[in-house]
Amino acid sequence: MKRMVFAAALAAFCLANPLKAQEAALPDTGRQANWSIAIHGGAGTIVRDRLTEERRVQYEQALQIALDAGSEVLSQGGSAVEAVKAAVVLLEDNPLFNAGRGSVYTWDATIEMDASIMDGRDRSAGAVASVDTIRNPILLADEVRTQSEHVFLAGDGAEQFAQARGIETAPADYFETEGRRESLERLKAEKTSSIEVDYKFGTVGAVALDQNGDLAAATSTGGMTGKRWGRVGDSPVIGAGTYADNRSCAVSATGWGEYFIRVGVAHEICTRIRLQRYGAGNDTVTSVSVDQAQAIADDVMAEVKNLGGDGGTILVTSNGDALYSFNTAGMYRGRANSDGMNEVAIFGGERQADESNTPDH
């Protein structure tokens, strides 16, 4: 794939090894990475002939900046939770992505944002849904996790909690973008049924392993273009769009949320990896290889596809292996670790030269 290494101004980058997302696994060195992180900016019908060179560069730069932010936290000894928040906040602030400032419109031309976060140390979690004034929903989700006895707050209640906790808000016009409005208008002009919406997956997320061996996952989204009736997808649902457990992995998902909820994608991946590690009991721990973890993620995503759903996942295992799995044409994605890996990609079919013998998924 195209690998980007930013200079001090984050303006220069160079081309390096290609990477195929579905096969993106760290080399199986037999030792745990000191720290590791993976991010995504959504999955969907992302193909080369629909993305201009200028737009591609913008996405790659945005991904690299977020990846660098999370990597900096981890390299300085910060926690996995702080790393995923740092990465997701920058993605929420960038109107390229369907989260925070770039959130899509509902059928009624309003904004309804969802987010969730989970700490693999104690499986504490926080989530919010259908908020419309919160500048960075991921920060509110973490406030729910740490400063309330609850896991999931929605709508006006979540907004009231945010006000009580001093979470930064923004006016409606902060979230409005012309491109998102045009998407809604096009959807209404071309579709005859409110069910037939334009499924574009721009959800953002991050997963990380820190130097203490702790895992965390975070996901944020503006939802689905043209959604109605207070629809909520998988992003704020712990176990569907987000999950982290130090015994196995951390997962953030993006895609057609209804199917990810039905499969319980994030929890399913983590549970299968945990069972692979511990077997029937907790007295013997078996190492889960890169190939085994990748196969588990691919199998779960195949289940989503078999039901009719599209999308993708990122995950980091307790060994520090950073992986992707998606069943769409592309996924905005990136990964880095303490061994020097630092790369971003967009399209399906991109792969590392040293992984050229890996079969397609």
**CB-hemisphere CA count at 13 Å for 12?**
3
Burial degree of 16 (CB within 10 A; 0-12, 13-18, 19+): middle
Tokens of 144: 């729910």
**CB-hemisphere CA count at 13 Å for 224?**
23
Which residues sit opposite 179 in a β-bridge?
Answer: none
Residues whose CB falls within 8 Å of the CB of residue 351, separated by 6 or more in sequence, listed in order: 1, 18, 19, 20, 23, 24, 358
CB-based contact 155:142 (threshold 8 Å): no
CB-based contact 131:140 (threshold 8 Å): yes
Q: In what order do the strands lie in the sheet with 342-347?
A: 152-154, 124-131, 113-119, 215-221, 204-209, 36-44, 330-337, 342-347
CB atoms within 10 A of CB 115: 34
Give the integer Cα–Cα distance in Å for 111 and 152: 19
CB-based contact 306:292 (threshold 8 Å): no
Task: Spot the catalytic one: 106, 203, 221, 313.
Answer: 203
Q: For residue 101, is it left (φ>0), alpha (ψ between -120 and 50) or beta?
A: alpha
User: Could you confirm whether 203 is annotated as catalytic?
Assistant: yes
* Residues with active-site annotation: 203
